[in-house]
Amino acid sequence: MHAQALRIEEPHPAGFDERRFPRALGRFATGVVVISTGSGERLHAMTANAFMSGSLKPPLIVVSVGQRARMHERLMARARSLA
């Protein structure tokens, strides 16, 4: 089994409040989350049944994506385009 961390450095979106991030994570029970990458006609999304906090500073979340999933390929392509 192989694990790889993908960290994309992007500035916080306008209106992002770091103090509210831990509260928001604490209020998320369980269930399904949707992650997406791309834009416009090239938008791709997937559902994941869990995520967790990776760090509060900087604010990061962790979602596991299988290497055989189409989303994995698209996330890796996004990371290469930002490098």
Q: What is the pTM of this model?
A: 0.59
pLDDT along the chain (83 residues), means of 10: 54 74 77 83 87 82 88 86 75
Please classify residue 75 by burial: count the beta carbons closer than 10 Å to its beta carbon, then call 0-12 exposed, 13-18 middle and 19+ buried: buried
DSSP 40: G
> Strand runs (DSSP E) across 5-51, as ranges?
33-37, 44-48
- Residue 13 pLDDT: 67
Q: Which two tokens stand for residue 39?
A: 């834009």
